[in-house]
Every structure is written in C-alpha cells, then in structure tokens.
Structure 1
Amino acid sequence: MEEETRRAVAAWPRDVPFALRPRFAEIALDIIMRVVFGLRRGERYRALRSALLEVVENDRMISFALMVPSARRDVGPWKPWSRFRDQIRSADGLIFREIEDRWDDDAIASREDVLSMLILARREDGSALSLEELRDELMTILLAGHETTATALAWTFDRLFAHPDAFARVRSEVRDTGSDAAPFIDAVIHEALRVRPVIPFVVRMLVEPFTLGEYELSAGTTVSPAIHAVHRDPDLYPEPSRFEPNRFMGRRPGSYEWLPFGGGTRRCLGASFALFEMRTIIETVLSNVDVLPASDAPERIRRRAFMLVPATGTRAIVRSVGPIAA
C-alpha cells in the first residue's frame, strides 16, 4: 500500500488545483490489482486494469443493475446496457484467464494475493470455489473496495480542510517519527465516515418475523437502516453536526451506532482492510507532500451510483516537502 501510494503521489501535479478523489481511486485500484489479483505491472496488468476500469466507472449502468431486478433487465437493444454487458464479458474473460493460470501455478501455495488464497480455500465439505464463484468474489471486492475507499479518503481530506486544528495535529503526528499517529488518524477516519458516510443506507431482508417498536414485520420484509440518521442522533453523538474526532479517541464505536460498513452478520467483510488502507494512504501522502485546500468553498454532496461523493472531488493543491521514493 505504501509503495503504490508513493508511486502515485510522485506523479501528482504540484502547485495547481486538482481533484483528490480520482487520484485516490487510482491508488485504490492499483492496491486491489496488487493485493487481490497479485499483479503489479506488464501487459496483463494493463489489460485487466483497463477492462475493470470500464466496468467500475460506468456508474449509470451500475445504478441500473443495482436498482432493477435481474428478471427485468431484458431491455432489448438498449445500447448503453448492451455496451455495459460487453464490458463485463471482456473483464470476465481476463479474470477467468488469471484464475485458470493460477490453478496451473505450482507455486500457488507460496503466493500471498487474495486470488490465490481464494483458490486454495475449501468449504467444510472440502469443495473449492468454482470459476464463476471466484469471479464473483473478485468483482465484489473490486466494486466494494475501489471507489468507496477513494470517496471515503476524499471526504476525510475535505473534513480536515474544513478543520485546520485537526489537520495540523494529523500532519504533525505523521511527521514526528517518535509519535504514533495512528490513534488520532483512526479517530479522524471514524468521524469523517460518521458525518460523511459513503453509503447512505443498507438493505436487509428478514428471514424470520421481527418486532420493531410498534410494528410487526413478517419474514421476507425488506428493511433499510438509515445510516445518515443514526449518525446524526444527538443521543448517540452530542452536537452531531460538529466534526469532532475525539469522540472516537480511545474507544471503538458500537455495532449499532456507527454503520458506514453496515452491521450485523452481513457487515462488510472488507471493513478492517478499508480502514487500514485509508490510514496507510493518509500517512504516506502526508509524509511526502503538503496537501492544501484549493478553495474555501464548502464541498457539496452528490450521488454517484450507490455512493454519496464530494461534488468536485475535493480539490486540493499539493506541494512537495521532501524526496519521494516512488
């Protein structure tokens, strides 16, 4: 994660405004390519990365696929949907090639990428994941951990820009090699995800009857906890509109009061990975460059597919503070 972040930051423009969110998306994708697929550079890396980008950046069709049941997606010769399905087939072909080549790799047991671990994993009955199941797992990791992480990072810097004291503390602790900056950075990340959750709601289907206050809900009912409303509950968070990272210093948020990754048994499996990745990227960026707000104007919230993103991508100006080992 550090290596990919340093390499990306070395190529960022200096002393001119640019949007942070797309740059963080590039870092997150390169981390996924390396950690999940086990690919770093080369022709196969470039082909798969390009194909995956075509899929994940088509937010209009992703929204359609998420909101419309599969049984109702037969929309005839609608070019945008046909083109999206072609993009998915292209990405699938490259993913299947990586899986099949990994099956034939005699050294797979010594590899540390997620794909190799999934191939070696076995269910309780001893069976392995199928080709299609492996593809589905990889695409889920990609969709859940690419732009969501980039958006969370962009919102974190947006909130730090708006709160200079907190930002100064993060910068000073990152650059003080005798100090462990992680606790306060973790608190900043938790608070940023509280006030700016990337996903506005989660959806669950009841598998058995459930009583919610005065309501009796039957099995099969779809319920949708409102993440934003929970995060703004003054009984849980006094002065809920105020950005205050100290809320999370020295304590872990409760399972039913902090929901950026959902909750319960269906909580996002990548939550710990995402939080560690965010901390690593923030520390690496601020260890190498100064990141300044490009404007004093407050960032507006815009919907992109299933996410709430900063409308301008959190525009910033970067200045070098020392050599970067890219």
Structure 2
Amino acid sequence: MRFLRYIVLVIALVLWAGGLSSTVSHWLYSVGVIVDDYRYGDLYRISALPQFKDHQPVCPPSNRASDTSSTHLYIIGDSFSEEQRISRDDFRVSHYQRVKWGFSQRAQLDPTKRNVLLLETVERHFREHFAQPVNELVVEKDTNQAPSAMVSWRRRLKEDYHRSDVEERLASTLFSHDWAFWLKEVKAALTLSWFNRASTGVSLSRDHKNIFLDFDTDTTRKKLSSFAKLPDTEVNTLVDSLNSIADRYRRLGFDDVYLSIIPNKATILEPNRGAYNHLIERVQNSPKLRVKTVNIYTPYKEASQVPYLKGDTHWNCAGRSLWLDAVREQLSL
C-alpha cells in the first residue's frame, strides 16, 4: 500500500511539473502522456462544441528559401507567424528571423543585404501593440559576443517556468485526450441546446454556423473587439506611433519596414454583427501613414472561400496562401 502511495505521489509530481515547466511538458508530449489539445482548433478547445471540431491541416510547403538571395527578412509577429504556420521556406530570402510580440531578440544586420522588417499583428491586438514603443527586435552592431552563462541560464529558466498559467497548463496535461474532449462535448452540446449558451471565451455567429473568439465580438473589451468604438484621434495617434517605430528601425539599418494587419475572424465572416470600426482600412488608408502595408483585408473580403479554419481563430491553407502571396508581392520576395 505504501509503495502504491509513492507511485501515485510520483505521478502527481510529474504531472504538476508538466504544468509548471515547458521542458517537462515537452517530454510528456514525447512519451505520449500529453497530446496536443489544440489539434482540433483553439476555438474548439475553448468551446468543446463538436460541430466545430476540425483537424488542423498541414499546408503544403512553399520551398522558396534561397541562400543566394540578397534579402534578409525579419518579422515581429504573433501566432499567425509562428513556426508551425510560417517559416523561412515560404520566402525567397537568405536570412530569416522572427521574434514574438512581448519577447526580445538581438539581430545584427548585414549592410550588404536588403534588410526588411515586417510588423505582423492580428487586428484585435493592433491597438495595444502600437500604443507603446516596439522594442522586440534589438539591433546591435556586434552580436557575436555571447551573454554570460549566468544571464543565459536565468533567461532559460524564466522562459521554462510558467507559474502564472499553471492551472491552464495542468488542465491541458490532465484532460488533453479524446475521452476528456468527449465528456466536454456532451456538456457543451447540452448547454447550447438547453440554454443557448456557449462557453465563456467564445461567441457564435447569429446563425450558429461560425465561432469566434469572444475578444473579437465583446465591445466591453475596448482595445480588442472589431466593434468597439475607435475615435479618429486614436487612429491618428496609432499612425504617428507606427511612423515613429518605422523611422527608428530605418535609422538602425533597415531598408524597408512593412505593416500587415490580419483581420479578426468576425471582421470577415460577420461584419454586420455590430458597428464595425474599420480599424484596418482607417489605418492603412490614412494620409499620414508613412509605412508600407501588406493589405490582406481586401483579399479576405473578396475570397471565394472562407479563409479561416472552422474551429480556430487562424487561417486555413487558402487564407495562408492569400497572405503569403500578398507579402511576397509587396515585399518582392
């Protein structure tokens, strides 16, 4: 009996460590204890509504990377440009570096190359990203001098340890398998059928054919929703901020700076849900804007097929292809 208690204690400690540590959770993934709970879509993961359960596709690779290209591409971006969606192989470039919003990376520019910076953001986070200085990409003259081992060790530990979201990570560790999703589906389907209510965190279109992130539709979230009020004064402030950010990165050595705002799913699939604030158009068409833009709003509005995944906030392969085509054309990649 004591031996059994020790086994249970060890299992509990390992699972708890998986909730705290990325290293441990990755190991648990590799041995099959945890499975990817985003595999059917992030919106399905939140809602557990079976009609939006959708396997995440593997989009065909572009295979365009070139060691002989004269262009070096740098991206400051969000989840749309994560490695599983976008990579160097999608562009004809000889160097590619991406940093996530809210993090920091160093970069050393090659003055003999064309250095291009792409600021990529989903619509819901545009207002918060550009209401403050953008310092995610730190341009240095010499990055060959590595930081001390102590600094590197502390940074790795900080990135590996996740105390703030341990509850969510533990839930993923314990309830990521199909049997757990089935139980959640039953509860979610009954709640929607009996009370016409979906899980907190998502919202359904009026015809219940589409699912959105609640941030995109809830107008009480003033900086996030597509339908929250956006005064002209704020648009002008954001444009001024963009111009200032682009000017600073040009002074640091970039030849070109581009902006790409990816529309919220609700913006494209249910624009009449409320009074759309037209953030993307108002920023991109501002006469004061001195930053080149990659316009994906218009191609998405005119697309013959839905550019988003059924149970996810992100694009499908068709939507991804439209964005890549727009980026390549505008950036000459």
TM-score over 0.5 (shorter chain): no
More helix per residue: 1 or 2? 1
- Structure ranking higher on relative contact order (CA contacts 8 Å, 6+ apart): 1
